[in-house]
């Protein structure tokens, strides 16, 4: 499914993000940046050791990455040129600033991707796996962050790469509340 918001194509798709042919894919990492399970593990496996080596250098220089922040490495063996590593919040019930931290993770990832010259960015559903953020509010925060990103016109395409068809259904249900009057239509866009 996809929709055009001003000049930017926003797509919702079910796929493995490691195969995504965009300029930058976003990784749902942890603060240590040493890899893990879920999408993080998949990105490091597919991208090869150069990504971990860069992550180690970043942590050695700047320390661990707080929730809501983002850093960039190269894409190693991935089709994407860059990986933006961000840390979503662990869900503790919603009273520990989780919503704001998740929004920051999306906005800081977009900012970093644009600063590197990316024109297309793919996101997984940050924090909704091991970190247990409920998918429905998380999908609204993800879509609203893209809607509100001040430099959205610098991007040709933003892709939400969901891993399960049911997750795509939730994003589709959330869509009209975030983009009223903007219709999602079937479409494959440029990237797989």
Q: Which residues are catalytic?
A: 40
User: Is 137 a residue that touches ligand APR (CB under 6 A)?
Assistant: no
By the rule CB under 6 A, 121 interacts with ligand APR: no
What does the angle CA 71 – CA 73 – CA 1 come to, to the nearest 5 degrees? 80
If binding is defined by CB under 6 A, does position 102 make contact with ligand APR?
A: no
Size of the site for ligand APR (CB under 6 A): 25
Min separation Cβ 177 and ligand APR, Å = 20
Q: Using CB atoms within 10 Å of the CB of residue 79, give its burial: 0 to 12 exposed, 13 to 18 middle, 19+ buried.
A: middle
| Nearest to ligand APR of 150, 166 (CB atom) | 166
Give buried/exposed letters for 137-150 (b at 16+ CB in 10 A, else e). bbbbbbbbbbeebe
Is position 38 an interface residue for ligand APR (rule: CB under 6 A)?
A: yes
Contacts of 136 (CB under 8 A, 6+ apart): 170, 173, 174
| End-to-end Cα distance, the chain | 12
- With binding defined as CB under 6 A, does residue 40 bind ligand APR? yes
Choosing from 112, 126, 138, 145, the residue that interacts with ligand APR (CB under 6 A) is 126
4 vs 96, which CB is nearer to ligand APR? 96
77 vs 151 by CB, closer to ligand APR: 77
- Residue 139 contacts ligand APR per CB under 6 A: no
Our CA angle for 70, 94, 122, nearest 5°, is 35
**Listed ranges 1-9, 40-48, 58-66, 108-116: which one lies at the site for ligand APR (CB under 6 A):** 40-48
Give the count of beta carbons closer than 10 Å to the beta carbon of residue 49.
10
Please report, as ranges, the residues that interact with ligand APR according to CB under 6 A: 16-18, 28-30, 36-42, 88, 124-131, 161, 163, 167
């Amino acid at each position: 499914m996809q929709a055009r918001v001003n000049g930017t194509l926003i797509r919702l798709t079910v796929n493995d993000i490691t195969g995504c042919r965009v300029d930058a894919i976003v990784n749902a990492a942890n603060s240590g940046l040493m890899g893990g399970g879920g999408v993080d593990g998949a990105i490091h496996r597919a991208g090869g050791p150069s990504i971990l080596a860069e992550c180690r250098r970043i942590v050695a220089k700047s320390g661990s990455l707080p929730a809501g922040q983002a850093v960039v490495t190269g894409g190693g063996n991935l089709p994407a040129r860059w990986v933006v590593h961000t840390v979503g919040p662990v869900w503790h019930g919603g009273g520990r600033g989780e919503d704001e931290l998740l929004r920051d993770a999306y906005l800081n990832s977009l900012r970093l991707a644009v600063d590197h010259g990316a024109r297309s960015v793919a996101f997984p559903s940050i924090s909704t796996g091991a970190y247990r953020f409920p998918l429905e509010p998380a999908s609204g925060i993800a879509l609203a962050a893209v809607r509100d990103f001040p430099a959205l016109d610098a991007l040709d395409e933003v892709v939400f790469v969901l891993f399960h068809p049911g997750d795509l259904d939730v994003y589709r249900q959330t869509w009209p509340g975030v983009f009223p009057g903007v219709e999602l239509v079937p479409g494959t866009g440029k990237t797989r």
